[in-house]
Structure 1
Amino acid sequence: MRSACLTLLLLTLTACQPSAPESNADLLQSLRGQWVVINYWAEWCKPCIKEIPELNALDSDYDSVTVLGVNYDGATGDALQAQLDALQVQFATLGEDPAGLLGLDRPNVLPTTLIINPAGELLDMLVGPQTLESLLAVTVHRASQAEK
């Protein structure tokens, strides 16, 4: 069920960065077999701002992980792009909050990060700021441990 929810979620994606795939179909194809990290952030949240470079690094440096952001305040269009530029967010941003599609309540605390495994299953919900190391521990390193 969660896998179907993730697929539905990804079909509703709106990517805001120039490096984003050209279509939702391309994005879905690129996420097959990937760890997906969905991070809720807001421009007024100091811990969110602090962890953005960690999320950028995870998304750019680890091919097996895709990071997707959710603007907690629901900014869209030029307002969202201005925030992405100001905070130097380099990962794709979802156009809509995925919580309902994943069968979850909207987070009450920021930042909140959802971890979805390559099979499309929600594995974890991390509350509070994350580091690259903490994110790797629940994605790439977890996969390495499972293979042993």
Structure 2
Amino acid sequence: MARRLTTALAFMGILLLAGCGNDYGVDQNGQAIASKRLDKQWVVLNYWAEWCAPCRTEIPEFNVLAEQLKGRNVGVFGVNFDQVQGEELKSASEKMGIGFTVLARDPADFFDIPRSEGLPVTYIIDNQGKVREQMLGEQTAAGVMAKLEALQAFK
């Protein structure tokens, strides 16, 4: 009887842990971000702000990059540097023309990213959650793609 109870409890624990992942909160539209979208995936994480002129220039590049990476093991995500939330985040994302997912909660703690003093800044994070590249300044889709290829993100 004790052995069955132990086995049952262990099985329940495994089931509970299997559903666990990091809690990335919601996106700019208030939709929950499933942990599988960032955990065990390569991530391109772009920090932006409405007042940042280079951010405005590079956002269309990240929209192109997000389209190019669909179906691959890489996701493009944005984070508002000023940490605006709710309707303000949605409005800012729309004004910037952002077509990729913007995280309402900054995942810096999950990936051990220090707060940058400059913008724009983009990080490439590997499928183990390790920051592999920090790119300060305005980026292009081709430039980020080249970095991903050099890091062998598509293997």
TM range (shorter): 0.7 to 0.9
Q: Is 1:82 the counterpart of 2:91 in the alignment?
A: yes
Structure 1 segments unaligned to the other structure (5+ residues) = 1-6
On the 8 A contact 1:14/1:94 being kept in 2, the answer is yes
What is the aligned residue count? 133
1:113 partner SS: strand
Check 1:47–1:95 CA distance in 2 against 1; reply closer, same or farther (3 A cut).
Answer: same
Q: Is 1:14 the counterpart of 2:26 in the alignment?
A: yes
Distance 1:49 1:23 in 2: 26
Deviations 1:105-144 (A, max 9, x none): 2110000101011232210111101001110011145327
Check 1:32–1:98 CA distance in 2 against 1; reply closer, same or farther (3 A cut).
Answer: closer
Tell me the percent identity. Answer: 33
Root mean square deviation, CA, Å: 2.2
2:53 aligned partner, one-letter code: K
Counterpart of 2:18? none
Deviations 1:26-71 (A, max 9, x none): x322445532011100001010010001111111221322111110
Check 1:111–1:92 CA distance in 2 against 1; reply closer, same or farther (3 A cut).
Answer: same
Counterpart of 1:4? none
Check 1:100–1:30 CA distance in 2 against 1; reply closer, same or farther (3 A cut).
Answer: closer
Q: CA deviation at 1:78?
A: 1.3
User: 1:127-138 residue pairs with structure 2 within 5 A?
Assistant: 127-138=136-147
User: TM-score by structure 1 length?
Assistant: 0.78
On the 8 A contact 2:123/2:134 being kept in 1, the answer is yes
User: TM-score by structure 2 length?
Assistant: 0.75
Structure 2 segments unaligned to the other structure (5+ residues) = 1-20
1:100 partner SS: helix
